[in-house]
Amino acid sequence: MGLRFIFMLTRNDMTVEDAEQHLKTALAAGVHHIGFKDVGLPFERLKELNAAIQAGGATSYLEVVSLDRESEVASARAAVEIGVDILLGGTNVDAVLPVLAGSGIQYFPFPGRIEGHPSVLTGNIDEVVESAVKLAARDGVHGLDLLAYRSTENVTGLMAAVCAAVDKPVIMAGSIGSRARIEIVRRSGAAGFTIGTAALDGDYPADSPELETQLQSIQRDVAGVNNHLSPHAPNNLDQAFASFTETWSPRVAGQVNNMMIKLAKFEGEFVWHHHETEDEMFLVHKGRLLIKFRDRDEVINAGEFIIVPHGVEHCPVALDGTCEVMLLEPATTVNTGNADDPRRVTELSRV
Ligand code: NI
């Protein structure tokens, strides 16, 4: 499973006034993890916001801000009543666990000592790790919410140390505003991270400060960091074939492991040949292809393909003018095989 991006509808540790509107944008952008805080909006609106997150197919997160025992218990009760999927933050685990019991809510409290508002993580790395290990060992604690970027310690070292010390998922919170930071978070072994203000304020590196563009940029970066993204754009065969006219001169359109994808235009008859070790696949894109074999002929129409195993003699012939063919064959394959023919091509250009 890849690194999880949790979009927080929050600024300065408060749920933003226009959370509902931003939620619509986030859901439309395909964001699957969306959180808010228990301050900033009236309870009923938080409840509706949560219902809208879940109705949109996303997982909901409520992050506790208040750190005194009484308000934290009140927040946990609110989380149960709101029906969030995951409760993030808080430090009064003994008080919160009984409230959450039986609710099905996953609980990710803060390791370490948290002070102030906006919250700051105090203590050195060893102290935070010790706290993380103790918390993660508890039943009812499903993971941790580490305020890594709210620490004055070496943040990279802190994240890696906490992730290495516990076997439950760790979410990194605070000030993650670039692909470089997302990569650092990924390398630390984290399960996820939150971004709120950076996206809402249009500070994430993207083509525009609009929230939609911001979220798309974050998601593309996360997909890249997760290795969930192909570096290749889609290819259009009509356009690729239109880019050259030369016949019997295959162009390289791509490579799949050691197999080349080649595009070729055939016209008239080629030459009898075989390939010692290479199998060839001929997929006809346009026109009709006749392949003569020693004992019979095969006609391949547009949308059809044929495989010619190595060692089998064949002679391709384009019927009805030019025939557009996609070839799939090992990179070492030469078009004329064992035959001596002036149409032999060894240096292939790319489409
Ligand atoms: Ni051949």
Q: What is the pLDDT of residues 181-225, one digit of tens each?
A: 999 999 999 999 999 999 999 999 999 999 999 999 999 999 999
Sequence letter at residue 118: P
| Ramachandran area for residue 337 (φ above 0: left; ψ -120 to 50: alpha; else beta) | left
- Residue 271 in tokens: 């030459």
CATH architecture of the region 4-225: Alpha-Beta Barrel (3.20)
Interacting residues of 144 by C-beta distance below 8 A, sequence separation 6+: 108, 109, 110, 111, 132, 135, 136, 162, 166, 168, 169, 170, 171
For residue 324, report the distance from its CA to the centre of ligand 1, in Å. Answer: 15
First to last CA, the chain: 36
For residue 282, report the distance from its CA to the centre of ligand 1, in Å. Answer: 9
Alpha carbon 149 to its chain centroid, in Å, reads 23
Best CA proximity match to 171, nearest among 134, 151, 144: 144
pLDDT band at 232 (very low <50, low <70, confident <90, very high): confident
- Domain(s) labelled CATH 3.20.20.70 in the chain stretch across 4-225
Please report which helix (H) or strand (E) contains residue 212, including its range: helix 211-225
For residue 336, report the distance from its CA to the centre of ligand 1, in Å. Answer: 6
CB 253 within 8 Å of CB 36: no
For residue 289, report the distance from its CA to the centre of ligand 1, in Å. Answer: 13
CB 88 within 8 Å of CB 82: no
Sign of the dihedral defined by the CA atoms of residues 189, 134, 172, 63, in that order: positive
For residue 287, report the distance from its CA to the centre of ligand 1, in Å. Answer: 18
Q: 36 in helix, strand or coil?
A: strand
pLDDT of residue 237: 97
For residue 341, report the distance from its CA to the centre of ligand 1, in Å. Answer: 12
Q: What percent of the chain stands above pLDDT 70?
A: 100
- Domain(s) labelled CATH 2.60.120.10 in the chain stretch across 237-350
How far is residue 50's CA from residue 36's CA, in Å, rounded to a whole number? 9
For residue 235, report the distance from its CA to the centre of ligand 1, in Å. Answer: 24
pLDDT band at 273 (very low <50, low <70, confident <90, very high): very high
For residue 303, report the distance from its CA to the centre of ligand 1, in Å. Answer: 19
For residue 305, report the distance from its CA to the centre of ligand 1, in Å. Answer: 14
* pLDDT per residue as tens digits for the range 58-91: 999 999 987 789 999 999 999 999 999 999 999 9
pLDDT of residue 235: 92
Q: What is the mean pLDDT of the chain?
A: 95
For residue 238, report the distance from its CA to the centre of ligand 1, in Å. Answer: 23
For residue 296, report the distance from its CA to the centre of ligand 1, in Å. Answer: 16
How far is residue 25's CA from residue 57's CA, in Å, rounded to a whole number? 14
For residue 13, report the distance from its CA to the centre of ligand 1, in Å. Answer: 66
pLDDT band at 142 (very low <50, low <70, confident <90, very high): very high
For residue 329, report the distance from its CA to the centre of ligand 1, in Å. Answer: 9
Q: 33 in helix, strand or coil?
A: strand
What's the predicted TM-score (pTM) here? 0.74
CATH domain 237-350 topology:
Jelly Rolls (2.60.120)
DSSP state of 199: H
Best CA proximity match to 327, nearest among 236, 243, 268, 259: 259
Q: What is the mean pLDDT of residues 146-152?
A: 91
